[in-house]
Amino acid sequence: MRIVATREFLADRPWGSALLADFGDVAARVHSTDQPYRWHRNTGPELFLVVDGVVDMHVRRDGAEQVIRLGAGDAAAFDEGDEHVAHPVGLARILVVERKDSE
């Protein structure tokens, strides 16, 4: 067993992460960043949970972009192929559970 203080995690670069658990083809990681990611689609489902901070999640549905604000404790679940990009508002810490071969 190991304990990780996810609300205090600081990576050495934007979207840097620490592995929390390895489930074979799936990994749970904590990320810290104050920079946007990039538009992408995952190769499988993704769970995105804001541990600390605020993130504006941009999603594209039927060609239209929508922005959903997520605060600490809020989560977004994506299906394979859902197009999205996270834009933190200041420093945010995020738990991501996804296939290891996802972007």
Q: Label residue 92 by pLDDT band (50, 70, 90).
A: very high
pLDDT in tens, 66-84: 999 999 999 999 999 999 9
What percent helix, strand, coil does the chain show, rounded to 5?
5, 55, 40
Q: Label residue 103 by pLDDT band (50, 70, 90).
A: low
Whether pTM exceeds 0.85: yes
Q: Could you tell me whether strands 54-61 and 26-33 are parallel, antiparallel, or unpaired per DSSP bridges?
A: unpaired
CB 88 within 8 A of CB 34: yes
